[in-house]
């Protein structure tokens, strides 16, 4: 059966991808499954560049078709920050709570209607031959004035989704995983994988 490496050590991410790819005739592997412990430095200036760096590196390293993603939060009033620096915006050792507090301080005095933001996820699908395709998922929202909810992680407690009338951290994980930026990108990646299967590109 064709194989696909999901280039992550995040078990939550793997579960999300496994659910969306469940009916595809593909065996999924993680970096841990292949005993790959290399860390790739994400030096790109965009989500797509970082996704490309990881996908191409691990496709060459493993000799397998590889999926890698990069994602983060973009806040319009901050000129698109924190963007690719979302995970280290308040410093490399900051906790989720500290990152949220740091972002909220940056938006002090900004009214609700001007706190527009979006979560972005870019997925790169790479073959060892060098072929690569990108898909993107976006979830629009507004930055709340204070954290709300206990689900999720990262910026979820301050990311308010208008259609849900709740922050991501107030939504059950099952619902978040239906509407999230990563879910949208993964469904688009699924279409690429279906096409690659039909074209025999995954039969390595």
pLDDT tens profile 185-195: 999 999 999 99
| Both tokens assigned to 116 | 């527009």
| Both tokens assigned to 19 | 């659910």
pLDDT of residue 159: 98
Query: To the nearest whole percent, how much of the chain has pLDDT over 90?
Result: 85
Statement: residue 4 has pLDDT above 90: yes
pLDDT of residue 11: 76
Range 45-56 average pLDDT: 97
Whether 21 is in a domain gets the answer yes
Distance between CA 199 and CA 186 in Å, rounded?
A: 20
Statement: residue 202 has pLDDT above 80: yes
Residue 196 buriedness (CB in 10 A; 0-12 / 13-18 / 19+): buried
pLDDT tens profile 13-33: 788 888 889 899 999 999 999
| Local confidence band at 204 (pLDDT 50, 70, 90 cut-offs) | low
Whether 204 is in a domain gets the answer no
Range 110-132 average pLDDT: 97
Range 24-43 average pLDDT: 92
Range 36-48 average pLDDT: 93
Whether 203 is in a domain gets the answer no
For residue 109, what are the domain limits? 3-198
Whether 15 is in a domain gets the answer yes
- Residues with a known catalytic role: 70
Range 1-13 average pLDDT: 87
pLDDT of residue 19: 85
Q: What is the CATH classification number for the domain harbouring 41?
A: 3.90.950.10
Number of domains in the chain: 1
Statement: residue 62 has pLDDT above 80: yes
Distance between CA 144 and CA 170 in Å, rounded?
A: 12
Statement: residue 34 has pLDDT above 80: yes
Whether 160 is in a domain gets the answer yes
Whether 67 is in a domain gets the answer yes
Whether 48 is in a domain gets the answer yes
pLDDT tens profile 127-185: 999 999 999 999 999 999 999 999 988 999 999 999 999 999 999 988 998 999 999 99
pLDDT of residue 138: 98
Statement: residue 122 has pLDDT above 70: yes
On average, the pLDDT of the chain sits at: 94
Among the listed residues 173, 166, 172, 202, the one whose alpha carbon sits nearest the alpha carbon of residue 21: 202
């Amino acid at each position: 059966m064709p194989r696909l490496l999901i280039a992550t050590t995040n078990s939550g991410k793997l579960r999300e991808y496994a659910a969306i790819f469940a009916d595809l005739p593909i065996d999924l592997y993680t970096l841990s499954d292949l005993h790959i412990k290399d860390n790739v430095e994400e030096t790109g200036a965009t989500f797509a560049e970082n996704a490309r760096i990881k996908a191409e590196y691990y496709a060459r390293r493993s000799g397998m078709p590889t999926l890698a993603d990069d994602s983060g939060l973009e806040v319009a009033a901050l000129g698109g920050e924190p963007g690719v620096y979302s995970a280290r915006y308040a410093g490399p050792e900051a906790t989720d709570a500290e990152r949220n507090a740091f972002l909220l301080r940056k938006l002090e005095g900004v009214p609700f209607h001007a706190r527009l933001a979006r979560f972005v996820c870019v997925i790169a699908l790479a073959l060892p031959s060098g072929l690569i395709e990108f898909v993107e998922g976006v979830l629009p929202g507004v930055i709340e004035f204070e954290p709300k909810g206990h689900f999720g992680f990262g910026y979820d407690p301050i990311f308010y989704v208008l259609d849900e009338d709740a922050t991501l951290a107030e939504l059950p994980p099952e619902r978040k995983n239906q509407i999230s930026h990563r879910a949208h990108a993964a469904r688009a990646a699924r279409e690429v994988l279906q096409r690659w299967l039909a074209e025999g590109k995954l039969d390595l």
